[in-house]
Amino acid sequence: MPQPSPPPRIGVVVVTMGNRPRELAALLASVERQSVPAVRTVLVGSATPLTDVPYDITKIPLAENPGCPGARNAGLRVLLDSGEVDVVVELDDDGLLVADDVFATVQRLHASDPTLGIVSFRIADGHGETQRRHVPRLRAADPMRRGLVTSFLGGGHSLSVPMLRQTGLWAGEFRFGHEESDLAWRALDQGWKILYEPGLVLQHPKTSPARHAVHYRFTARNRVWIARRRLPLPLIPVYVAVWITLTLARIRSLSGLRAWSAGFLEGIRTPCGERAPMRWRTVARMTRLGRPPII
C-alpha cells in the first residue's frame, strides 16, 4: 500500500516597518496560537532593525525599504532556500488571525489539491464587515461566496512553494499596488488555481488605499506595466482604456489626478520588466471564472 503524503509544512512571512508594534505583537501572538504550528515564521523589517521583537522567529532587518513585494521576497527566499516548507502564509503586520485553526485549514486545502497555488483569505474589520474592494471578484455583494477566482488579497493569503518555484516571486519593482495581479496572472497562466476562502479570516482595520501618498502614482504606473508585461498585444489598449474610464469616473481630487497622470506616463515611458504575455487559453479561463483580463 502506498504511504499517504505528509501534510504540507507551513511557513509564515510578515513584513513590518516598525510603526505598528502593538498590532504586530498581537498578530505574532495569533500566529503562535495556531493549532497547526508554523515550521518557521520570518519577520522582515523594512528599514527597521527589529530589536524590540521578543518572539523566537527568524528576523531579517533591511537597511532600506524596498516596498512591500520586495520585502516579502526577502522572507520568501529564506523559506524557499531552507527547503523546510511547502506552503507560505503571508500576513499584514496590522492584521490578526481571529481563529486558531487557520493554518490547519490552509494545510487541508493545499493537501487536497496539488494544483491549488493560492488561497485568498477574507479581510474583515473588527465588526466582521468586508469591504467590496477586498472581495476578489467583480460580483462582490456577497463576501461569503467561496470559489475559484482570478486574483487574491495581499493582506492575507497562502502561496504554494511548488507554484513559486515555477512562477517566480513577487514583482519587487512594483513596490506598491497590483503586484498581486501580476503574480496571480502568472500563476493562472501556469495552470495553478486561486481559491477565495471566506472562512479564513484576517481581521484588519478598515482603510483606504488612498491613505498612501504614492497610491495614485503607483496604481497608474503599475497598471500600465502589468498590461505591457502580461497581456496579449490586442488586449493592452482595451485594458488601459477600460481602466482610464473607470479611474476618471471615480477620482475626486485634482492632486490625485495629477499624481495618476504622472504615474500613467511613467508606466508608458519606463521599462516594465520582462514581457511574458499570457496565453489566449488563460484569457478564456479567466473569462469563464468571471473576470476577463481587461477589467
- Tell me the three cell numbers of residue 231: 497581456
Per-residue cell: 209: 488605499
Packing angle, helices 215-230 and 179-189, rounded to 10: 20
How much is the pTM?
0.94
Give, for 160, the enclosing helix (H) or strand (E). Answer: strand 156-160
Neighbouring residues of 160: CB distance < 8 A, sequence distance ≥ 6: 86, 87, 110, 116, 117, 118, 192
Average pLDDT of the chain, as a whole number = 93
Task: Give 209's pLDDT tier (boundaries 50, 70, 90).
Answer: low
* Residues paired with residue 46 on neighbouring β-strands, in sequence order: 62
Convert the pLDDT of each residue in 121-161 to its tens digit. Answer: 999 998 889 998 889 988 888 999 999 999 999 999 999 99
Pairing of β 116-124 and β 10-16: unpaired
Answer whether residue 24 shows pLDDT above 70. Answer: yes
pLDDT at 208: 61
**Nearest of 53, 11, 1, 61 to residue 36 by alpha carbon:** 11
Is the pLDDT reported for residue 58 higher than 70? yes
CATH architecture of 10-207: Alpha-Beta Complex (3.90)
pLDDT of residue 23: 96
The domain ranges of the chain are 10-207, 211-288
* Gap between the Cα atoms of 80 and 88, Å rounded: 9
C-alpha 94/C-alpha 243 separation (Å) is 30
pLDDT, tens only, 246-263: 988 888 888 888 999 999
pLDDT, position 1: 53
Q: How far apart are CA 129 and CA 21, in angstroms?
A: 24
